[in-house]
Structures are given as C-alpha cells and as structure tokens.
Amino acid sequence: MLDWFRTLASRVRAWGSAAQIDREFEQELESHLELLTEENVRRGMALEEARRAARVRLGGITQLKETNRELRGLPLAETLVQDARYALRVLRKNPGFTAVAVLTLALGIGANTAIFSVVEAVLLRPLPYPHAEQLFFVFQQRERDARVQTGWSYLNFLDLREQSHVFSEMGSNGNHELTLTGRGDPEVVSVADVTPEIFSLMGAKPMTGRLFLPADAKPGAPAVVILSESLWRGLFRSDPQILGSSINLDRRPFTVVGILPQSFRFSARTRSKQLWIPVTQDPLFAQWIPNRGGHWLAVVGRLKPGVTTAEAQAELDTINQRLAREFPGENSGWVIRMTPLGELVVGDVRPTLVMLWGAVGVILLIACANIASLLLARATTRAREVAVRSTLGAGRSRIVRQLLSESLVLGLLGGAAGTALAYWGVHTLGSLLAQNLPQVNPIRVDAAVLGFALALSAVAGSAFGLAPAFFAARLGFAAGLREGSPRAGESRASRRARGVLAAVETALAMALLVAAGLLLRSYSRMSAVSSGFTPENVVKANFSLYSARYSGPQEWLNFTNELLGRLHAEPGLQESALVVPTPIADTSINVVFDIVGFPALAAGSSRTADYAAVSPEYFQMLGIHLLAGREFDDGDVMSAPRVTLISQALARAYFPHEDPLGKQLRFAFGADSDAPRIIAGIVGDVRDVSPGVEPGPMVYVPFAQSPFPGSDILVRSSLDVSAVIAAIRRDVAQMDPDLAVGDVAQLSGAIQSSLAPPRFRTLLLVLFAALALLLAASGIFGVISYSVSRRTQEIGIRVALGASRATILRMVMRETLGLTLSGVALGVPCALLAARLVRHMLYGITTSDPATLSAAVLTLVASAVLAGYVPVRRAMRVDPLVALRHE
Amino acid sequence: MAGDKPEILQGTLDLMVLKTLSVMGPLHGYGIARRIEQISEELAINQGTIYASLARLTLKGWIDAEWGTSENNRKAKFYYVTKAGHKQMKAEARNWERISRIIGRVLSLAERG
C-alpha cells in the first residue's frame, strides 16, 4: 500500500514539474552521449563518426524522451479515461437499458437537487447579511404565555438599547400600511417604521441617495422616506428625479432621500410596495411613541463577537428586572428573550422541508435499488464477457474497476439529466415556492446545488455499481466460460438479491404512499371542515384612517357609521359589516382577560381569548348562530353599558357549571381597555386562526364601544366581485378622496390561501409518492420481465407438457404477488415510522389510519399487477416450439 | 495495490539493472549500460532502453538518483538502490529461482516425453 502511495505521489509530483524533468532527462542523455563519444574516440574513431555511432547505440533521443514521459505520467488517470470511454461505448450499445437507467436516476437526482436547492437557500445558507450568525431577534414575552413573541414599545426599546452592552448595535422596525397620495390614485403601501441603525445593522447599501442617519430620528427632524426599488420602478415609473421630491403618506409630506435595491430583504416581510420611514415620523403610529405599554416594534441586535448567548440572556434578564422595577405598570409580568434571526425567518417551514428532503432521499434510494437490480441482471448476461476478459489477463481489481466506472458514468449521465430536471423544476415550482417559503435568500440552482448534485451522482453511481461488481468478483470469472452458454443462469445469490431489492423498493414506496395518503386525508378534512361561518359571496376590504383628519374615537365612528349607511343604501349589496380582525384572513388578536369576581389564577396560567370588534350586523351576515342571550344592537354605543359576547368554547372552558350571562369580563385591549363588560350573549364557535386549528375561546365587543382608526369591511352580495369592490371604492372616495381601499379579497379565497402551506407540502409529497410508486413498479416489472425471459424455455416445456395458459398466468402472478407482498410486509413498519414522522402535520386522523394503510397496500398491489401484466402476457404467449428451439 | 502481491519485473532488464546497481554501488546510465554489456558479453543492447528501466524502478521506489560529476567532469545522474529496492531484489531473486526451477522441470519433462 505504502509503495503504491509513493508511486502515486512521485507521479503526481512528476506531473507537476513535467517541463523541468524533461530538461533534466535531456541533460542526462546528453552526458551519456558524451561518454559514449569519448569511448568511441578512445577506440580510434574520428570525432564526427564517434558522435554518430554514439547516437546509434543510444537510440532515438525523441523516442526515449517520449517513453520516459509516458512512464512517469499518470497511468491511473489514463486508465480512468479508458474505462470511461469503454463504459460509454457499452452504454451506447444498449440504448434501452441506458435510457431506463438514466431516466430513473434523473428522476431521483432531479427531485433531490430541486429540494436541496430549496433546503440550501432556506435552511443552510446564512441570511444575506454580513455575519448573520451574530444577528438575534430580541423580543418580549408574557411570563404566563410563552407561545407568543411580542415586540417592544419605542420607550422600552430606547432603554434596552442604552442599557445593553452585549450588542454592538440594535435596531427596530414595525410594519403596517399607510396611504400614499399625490401620485395618481391613492395607493396603500407597506411601511416599515425603523430606527436608523437597522440599515447598518443589516449591512444595507442604498441603490441611490442615502440611508437614515441618527439625526432623522430626532424630534422635529424633517420627515424623510426611503423607497424600495420595486416601488420606485412600479408606482414611480423609475422617475430619475425622485431624490428630493416629496410624497404624501396619510397626508403627511415626506422627502425621498434614497432607494434600497431589490436585493435587500428584511425577513419575509419585505413586500413589493415597500417603503421605510423613521419610526418617529410615522403619521399614524408616532402618537404611540410616548406610550411605554405598546408591543409593536420588532427588535434586532448584533451580538458583539465573543459574547455567548447565555451572557447576553443574563444581561437581558437584568435589564428586564430594572424595567419592571421602574415601570411596573407596563413591564411587570414580562420577560425578555432572544432567538437567532435565522430561526425567526425559517420558522415553521423547517419540518416541511425536512420531510420533503427525506421523501426525495427515499426516492433516490428506490432509484438506486432499481438500477442495481438492472445492472445485476445485465451482469449475468455479461458474465461471459467478464470471463473472457479475465482469462485474457485482466486482473480482478481491473474488472471491478471497469464495472464500477460503468456505473459511475451512468451516475454522472443521470446526474446531468437530473440537474436539468431540477433546474426546470425549481423554475416551474418557483411561484409555488415563493408563496410558501421565506424568501430572504433567493432559491436557485447555484454552485453549491450543482456540487451537491455531482456528489450525489457519484455516490449513487458507486452505490448501485457495488452490488453487481461484488457479484462479478464473487462469481469467479471462470464460471461464465465454463457454463458455456451466453444465457448461463443467474446465480441464486444474485437472483435473491434482485428479489430483495424489489421488495425493499416496494417497502420504501409504501412508506411514502402512506405518509402522502395521511397528509392528503388531513388536507381534505381540513378544507372540508366548517369554519363556523359562511364565507361564500363575501368580499372583504380594508381602510385605515389617518390621524391628520381622524384624530380620535368619535371621528373614527363618524366615518364608519356613514360608510355603513352608504353601503347599506347601495342596491345589490345585501349585507355589510365591520370587523377587526377578519377571521382566518387576518392575524388573530389574543388577549388575556379576568372574570370579575373570580379569583385570579395561579402564576403560570392565564385566561386568554381571541378578540374581535364587530358591528351589529356581523353575526347575521356571516351566519354565526346566537346560542343564548342577545346579539349586539345599535344601542351598544359609548354611552351605554359595556357589553361583550362570548363563544361557546369560552363558555365551556370558563363557565362549566354556571350561566355566563350577566357575568363581567375585563381585558386590557382596545380604546376602552380594562372597563368591565357584561356578557350579553353566547355565539357559535368560529375557526379564526386557520381551518385546521380547533376553535378556541373568543370574545366579541361592539365596534362602537371599542373603535379602531380603520377596519375591515365585509360585504355580502350576489353581484360580481369587481362590481362590489367598485361600489366600496366609490363610497369611500365620495367621503374622502385621499383614503385608499386596500387588502381587497374574497373571503373564501382568503381562507383557501390560509391553507396554502398544508396544500403545498401535501401536493409535493403526493407527487413524490407517485414518483416512488412508478419507480417501484418499474423495479417489479424489471424483475418479473427478466424472470420470464430467463424461464422462456421452462415455460415452453410446461406448455408442451400440457400446462394451460391459466397455469402459466398463476405461476408468473404468484411470483409478482409474492414479491409485492413481501415488500408490503417489510413496508408496514416503514410506513408506521414515516407516519410518526409526519404526525405533527396530521389533522383529524391518527398515524395508523387503517383506511390510508389499506389504500396504500391496494395501490401497491394494483400497480404491481399492472407492472407484471406485460411480462405475464409474454409468458402466456410463449410458443413451445420456438422456446424449445431457442438455445 | 501494487505492493499487495509480488509482481514479476517488467523484464529481465529491470532485474539486471537493479542487480548491477546493488553490486557496483551508485552509477550513471552510461555506466550501467556498459556494465551490463560487459557481463552479458554478446548481449548488445540499445543503451537507451535502460532509461525506461531506470524510470520504472524509480517510480516503484526501488532506486533513487542524485546529480553528481562523471569521470569526464560532466554533470551526470547517479542511481543507487534504496532499502525497498534491496528487499524487493531478494524477493525477485527467489521468484526468479522458482520460475527457472519450474521451467527447468517442464523442459526436462518435454525432453523425456
């Protein structure tokens, strides 16, 4: 071994300095010639003649140099090229086999490469910020409710930044929407309220102009805005004069100071109509700046190098205690936590991606098993060739290497085709991926992905090449010659190996089928479930009132009352209502509440409910049933006693033994927070988070008692959607031409898109399971078909001896089903394991759902029978005369 | 891999070169060629062919070379046998004896038959 390394090392070295070695060799020959010439002169030759004779005795210099170069060259590389060339020739001579193998492999490697490009972009590649690993999301959390990560008030954030020493920089941003006017029609735009440091923290560079300076956040500073490249190109038509010009946001003028390029993305939230303003300038939210109790700014910090997260957390705890001591009203009962920014961005897509990655891994295994089986079958027919070559002097390692390089070439061909497939797949799935994945890093087939595909092809190629090479080596090469016939039987071991491979493929396919089946059934249950309200024919739209004109609750109510009045008067619009927030379509608002007269709960537990402010028509128009008491009516206004409606789930959870009607709740949310509210009625449960999430406790308050500066409008109408939207826009514009109507959608469509993540993963997993099934079926087809052709003679004899077609059918089918059923037996534990792995994604069924399991088994058996059909027909048509003459 | 089993030398020439070097000590190409010609008397070799032998032996690590000065005061490359080369030579010699014994037996068999 050592010798071999030394040889290789010296050859590689020689390769590196070839020119110098050539020169030295020339010199060596030169001195040899001199010595020969001198010897000849000593013998009495004339100098000229002596020189010529010397040259003759030494031989041709050029030829010697050539030989020397060849000898110290890299014979390993040369034989590799030779092997590869031979492999290509063999593959070209068997186009059928090559096509099937390359296609199989292309599917396996293509699926893997495509999913890897997503995994790489979302899970593996660091976020596109300098030293992204130092970036942390710092959030506040109620001690009692560890599920929800909330943001910061501006004042709390300022204290945090000032008191913290473990972070080199901290910045914050809060997202909402404002109305942009002064450029054609009013337009709703996404606004990020930021503190100036956020850009240097994230390493952002402006496309033109400048980013924010600390001075921009000072009170009294002129209002400035940074546009996103897409907003500038779209709404502002790439206006070259944009810098220094003025735009209005909620009627407040802002000067454009810069444009951020498309490539800058802050988490998944960066929208197409995005712009950034200093938080202190916000026309809507700036009024909250003096309020320490709010939780609306997301804070990002860059940890100083060398500081551990434990040290940072310890400091955050200290700051938290100080804040709680100084401002107990706002900060007691809260804790500060931090999490890597990457975690926040990746969030809950990790399990989905890991699942899909596993699925394509299984597909590749099946593909490899398939090709290994094909190669084994071929190895048998090629036994003679191998035997001849080994008799002619090819060493065992040389032959194994030849076989391996054949499968490697196959692997690389498959890899190339697979990469093309992946490229196409990522391209085609692009929009689907974009909707369902955080898009901080672009998803594409790049160098890392190509490297992965190459490594995968090489590993796969040697994996499925090992089996036949192993058998070829074990067979004892002479065997092929001795048996004499080119159709010499396949060895028992190799036949058994092919059977095992087919069974394993079936088992793996079954695991994927069951997982896909479970997700499919979950999804169909999820989408069939009643959300507790009827979204059909309902259009939703959103408006938000700017503070310059709508300064307080009374102005907000004046506007909404007039709007509802106008909408009710529109012909064709059946019903209209206000709601904040719209169930499923909007993010739910969760509040902690107390029951007046009930003892406070122990620390660590709390009463929470989802919250909605609605106008009286709401329940009627969405078909939410009243179960007890009364609904809201026009008398529930500011001056009247505070009332609330509770959902059935809340009544069950918190009033199990008594009548909730007349009891009072108190919750710290909305314009009239902390006022006790009398429970006036109980309404049916509504799924307000997602169709797949069981309805939780819910409270409703009259919009007229807890108004917002803006709301969703729901309108039920049998008119065309565009007509409904036009009517809403017209009514709003008549009241205030500077007010934009945004977020327009059909409610049923919004519910559908809330099901996008489960639909996405279900769709892909079903696709992969189908692929696995196809490959497994082709594996079974290969084994049976080969077995029939091997047994043609035997079948011929049987037919000649009087076996009926039915007998032959039974014989072949028995083999097919035997193979499939042993695969199924092997597959049941695999399937149960796969089901356990996806159990968090299931809805309404158990992991051992018998219907799914039996459907998977039936599908497998059916496709096996189908796969066996062609060889069976061939077996039944065997003509005994032809078969017997065959050899 | 090459070291796993004893290999027969590329030709008898390799063995002759190795043997010459082990007996004579460091020699340059010309010296080796002359020596082999002297010993084998009639065997007039094309002197260049010994360079292929030298390259093969060097690659296998059995001989190595250093630049030195020849008797006519020219720069020349002097070859010498390495430790691995000595070991190999013993094995080769055994192998050679075995083969010549077998061939001898076969030939005598042929004579008798």
SS (H, E, C) A562-614: HHHHHHHHCCCEEEEEEEECCCCCCCCEEEEEEECCCCCCCCCCCCEEEEEEE
Question: Among all residues of chain B, which has the CA nearest to that of A64?
Answer: B48
* Chain A interface mutation, best of B34, B50, B59, B63, highest count of A Cβ atoms under 10 Å: B59
For the complex shown, is ipTM > 0.90?
A: no
Q: What is the mean pLDDT of residues A633-657?
A: 92
Number of A–B residue contacts, CB under 8 Å: 84
In 3D, which of A544, A542, A549, A543 has the Cα closest to residue A252? A549
Contacts of A34 in chain B (CB under 8 A): 72, 74
Residue among B2, B30, B49 minimizing CB distance to A32: B30
Residue among B2, B29, B34 minimizing CB distance to A3: B2
- The answer to whether A71 contacts B52, with C-beta atoms less than 8 Å apart, is yes
How do residues A556-592 score in pLDDT, each as one tens digit?
Answer: 999 999 999 999 998 888 899 999 888 888 877 878 7
Confidence of residue A136 (pLDDT cuts 50, 70, 90): very high
Residue B55, amino acid: A
- The answer to whether B46 contacts A2, with C-beta atoms less than 8 Å apart, is no
Q: What is the mean pLDDT of residues A107-115?
A: 91
pLDDT at A15: 52
Element (H, E) at A811: helix A805-837
Q: What is the mean pLDDT of residues A331-340?
A: 88
- Residues A815, A854: Cα–Cα separation, whole Å: 21
Q: Is the pLDDT reported for residue A135 higher than 80?
A: yes
In 3D, which of A128, A253, A235, A244 has the Cα closest to residue A190? A235
pLDDT at B4: 36
CB proximity A800 to B under 8 Å: no
- The answer to whether B48 contacts A1, with C-beta atoms less than 8 Å apart, is no
- The answer to whether B74 contacts A4, with C-beta atoms less than 8 Å apart, is no
Q: Structure tokens of B30?
A: 């010309």
Å between A108 CA and nearest CA of chain B: 35
pLDDT at B103: 81
- The answer to whether A58 contacts B72, with C-beta atoms less than 8 Å apart, is no
pLDDT at A788: 85
Q: Structure tokens of A560?
A: 């909404």
- Residues A198, A211: Cα–Cα separation, whole Å: 10
Q: Structure tokens of B64?
A: 């190595």
CA A828, A834, A839 angle in degrees (round to 5)? 120
- Residues A340, A233: Cα–Cα separation, whole Å: 33
Q: What is the mean pLDDT of residues B46-55?
A: 84
pLDDT at A488: 46
pLDDT at A484: 45
User: Do the beta carbons of residue A398 and residue A493 sit within 8 Å?
Assistant: no
Structure letter (DSSP) for residue B1:
-
Question: Among all residues of chain B, which has the CA nearest to that of A63?
Answer: B48
Å between B6 CA and nearest CA of chain A: 12
pLDDT at A605: 63
- CA distances A294 to A147, A310, A551, A613, A748, Å, are 18, 27, 19, 19, 33
Confidence of residue A6 (pLDDT cuts 50, 70, 90): low
Confidence of residue B68 (pLDDT cuts 50, 70, 90): confident
* Chain A interface mutation, best of B7, B10, B50, B51, highest count of A Cβ atoms under 10 Å: B51
Q: Is the pLDDT reported for residue A158 higher than 90?
A: yes
Handedness of CA A236, A237, A240, A241 (dihedral sign): negative
Per DSSP bridges, beta strands A224-228 and A274-278 are antiparallel
How do residues A478-528 score in pLDDT, each as one tens digit?
Answer: 454 454 444 445 567 777 888 888 999 999 999 999 999 999 999 998 888
Contacts of B71 in chain A (CB under 8 A): 35
HEC string of A75-118 equals HHHHHHHHHHHHHHHHHHHCHHHHHHHHHHHHHHHHHHHHHHHH
Looking at the DSSP bridge assignments, the partners of residue A736 are none
Residue among B3, B52, B58 minimizing CB distance to A2: B3
Contacts of A50 in chain B (CB under 8 A): none
Burial grade of A502 (CB within 10 A; 0-12, 13-18, 19 or more): buried
CB proximity A525 to B under 8 Å: no
Task: Find where tokens 């020699």 sit.
Answer: B27
Residues near A545 by beta carbon (within 8 Å), at least 6 away in sequence: A555, A556, A559, A709, A710, A739
Confidence of residue A66 (pLDDT cuts 50, 70, 90): confident
